[in-house]
Amino acid sequence: MKNRKLHSFAAYACGLLLTLVMTSTFVSCSDDEGDDGGGASLSITSLTPAKARVGETVTITGTGFSATPSQNAVMFKSTQATDVAAPVQEATATTLKVTVPANAVSGSVSVTVAGKSATSPQPFTLDETLGAPVLASLNPTSGFANAEITITGSSFGASKDAIDVLFGTVEATYVLTVTATTVTVKVPVTLEAGEVDIKVVRDGVSSGNTLRFTVNATPVSVKTVYWVDANTVYRGEIGDNGIEITEIYDQEGRSLQGVAIDSEGGYIYWGRAGGVSRAPLDGAGPVEDIYSDASKLAGIGDITVDHAGGAIYFTSIDASNAHSYINKGSLDGATAFAALVEQDFALVGFNIKLAVNDGNLYWASPLVQEVSMASLSGTFTPTVLFTAADGLKGPIGVAVDKASGKIFVTDNGELTGMGEATIMSGNLDGSGTLTSLVPAGSNVRFPYDAEIDTENGYIFWLNSTTDGGPASDIMRVKLDGTNVEKLFDGFDSGISFDIDVR
């Protein structure tokens, strides 16, 4: 009996102890919940500094703040209809470090924690004077001497005359544009290849930080390059003074595609919606619309020139997107163009090339994953050289080297959704298989056109997009696949180009 009583008492004591522990824990949790400020009431005692610029840090001192930054809502008066929130960088129960937000104006600052709010007893004053320039990013981060680059940041002002840009100790000669947040400048031509730190000086006030830029070694023996985007014809040159890109013809709204150089005749040809145009290579004009046909020339793929034969060859699609054509015309448009072959739309040829010394045309058809050729002697009969069975995913550009018996292909698997993009090479007669010359990666992004410089031994191609977005660039590589170089960049939506072989 005594043992049973002791046992019951022990059970009762244990139960009581457990109840006390649980109650204590509950009370403790309830007291702690939502109170990082040690139970102190919410208040603001000071702002330090009380005057600051947008983007600068202000320390709010007070009580009752949450030690979790996201639990503190800090609001500044604003140019908008409502107050603007300030990012909280650091938080304790008694201090908040916040960034003055964009659109802030002078006025009181408020803090809200767990539904309770406090307002600063002193007003905040927005400092609208410019601080030292702040550098955030460069685009691009590498390039040739004389290339244009854009520096993004803040506190640049709006006057070109007030801005100096230093590449190391070398001051840029050409500051092109200045806004409050961007500076566009040309890389000094006297810089040696390698890395250099850029800083911006405004009215003698230097940026507190620098950005690293890489000056690319100037490629040697670069042919003059011409290219088109949707609205403009450009010329690009690289020489002792670095890179020079010149807009030679503005064709706004004409949807340009396809371009070819007649070096001997001094003309450049390009395709447009509804026809083919030409103009002098020197950019002096006039522009001549040598062929127009809204039905059969609704869209132009590419153009190639046979100066000795007095002819141009160009691919096109019709207005109904039902048929594609390979056409022949005269250099000046005096003779009506004629279709050498009419075929299904899916067989449309891009980047047509003429190998004059063997009298053949070569072209790529990405939609059916084929590279084809046809002889200009006798009946024009297309022959397929390579297909998907040879590894093609979206062939769109070709370049021909008759001397070595090779054909080079820009294979744009990204365009067709069939895979990656690469530069490939194979035998000109279609024998054997294709091999990779430049593998997929940052050097090959949505490639379109391809050209060859047989004199110096390079294949050129145009990337229509890059890692940074829609910006295009023109690349080259040795015929053996070594020494990949970027030549021209900073233009948008490029598709077709040609090189001057003089």
Q: pTM for the complete prediction?
A: 0.67
Residue 496 near residue 448, CB atoms below 8 Å: yes
In the three-class reduction of DSSP (H, G, I as helix; E, B as strand; rest coil), residue 15 is classed as helix
Residue 357: per-residue pLDDT:
61
Q: How confident is the model at residue 2 (pLDDT cuts 50, 70, 90)?
A: very low
Residue 471: per-residue pLDDT:
78
**Number of domains composing the chain:** 3
Q: How confident is the model at residue 226 (pLDDT cuts 50, 70, 90)?
A: very high
Is 388 a member of any domain?
Answer: yes
Residue 380: CATH number of its domain? 2.120.10.30
Give yes or no: residues 204 and 55 share one domain: no
Give yes or no: residues 86 and 197 share one domain: no
Q: How confident is the model at residue 128 (pLDDT cuts 50, 70, 90)?
A: confident
In the three-class reduction of DSSP (H, G, I as helix; E, B as strand; rest coil), residue 287 is classed as coil
Last residue of a domain, one of 157, 192, 215: 215
Q: Is 128 left (phi over 0), alpha (psi -120 to 50) or beta?
A: alpha
Is 220 a member of any domain?
Answer: no
CA dist 351 and 340 (Å) reads 16
Give yes or no: residues 332 and 229 share one domain: yes
Q: Is 279 left (phi over 0), alpha (psi -120 to 50) or beta?
A: beta
Last residue of a domain, one of 163, 194, 215: 215
Residue 99 near residue 87, CB atoms below 8 Å: yes
Give yes or no: residues 456 and 397 share one domain: yes
Q: How confident is the model at residue 389 (pLDDT cuts 50, 70, 90)?
A: very high
Which phi and psi angles does 165 have, rounded to 5°? -120, 125
Q: How confident is the model at residue 216 (pLDDT cuts 50, 70, 90)?
A: confident
Residue 290 near residue 278, CB atoms below 8 Å: yes
Which tokens in the block code for residue 204?
């003698």
Residue 209 near residue 444, CB atoms below 8 Å: no
Q: How confident is the model at residue 15 (pLDDT cuts 50, 70, 90)?
A: very low
Residue 244: per-residue pLDDT:
87
Residue 74: CATH number of its domain? 2.60.40.10
Contacts of residue 400, defined as CB under 8 A and 6 or more positions apart, other chains included, come to: 353, 355, 362, 406, 407, 408, 428, 452
C-alpha atoms less than 13 angstroms from C-alpha of 28 in its C-beta half-sphere: 6
Give yes or no: residues 296 and 430 share one domain: yes
Burial class (CB in 10 A: 0-12, 13-18, 19+), 363: buried
C-alpha atoms less than 13 angstroms from C-alpha of 19 in its C-beta half-sphere: 6
Q: How confident is the model at residue 201 (pLDDT cuts 50, 70, 90)?
A: very high
CA dist 407 and 352 (Å) reads 12
Give the domain extent around 459: 225-499
Residue 327 near residue 342, CB atoms below 8 Å: no
Give yes or no: residues 176 and 75 share one domain: no
Cα dist. 276→265, 298, 352, 357 in Å?
17, 10, 15, 25
Last residue of a domain, one of 126, 156, 184: 126
Spell out the alpha helix ranges (H) of 65-107: none
* pLDDT surpasses 90 at 102: no
Q: What is the pLDDT of residues 396-455, one digit of tens each?
A: 999 999 989 999 999 999 988 999 999 999 999 999 999 999 999 889 999 999 999 998
Share above pLDDT 70 across residues of the chain, in percent, rounded to a whole number: 89
Average pLDDT, the chain: 88
Is 262 a member of any domain?
Answer: yes
Length of the chain: 502
DSSP for residue 441: B
Give yes or no: residues 108 and 203 share one domain: no
Q: Is 19 left (phi over 0), alpha (psi -120 to 50) or beta?
A: alpha
Residue 466: per-residue pLDDT:
54
- Beta carbons within 10 angstroms of residue 233's beta carbon: 22
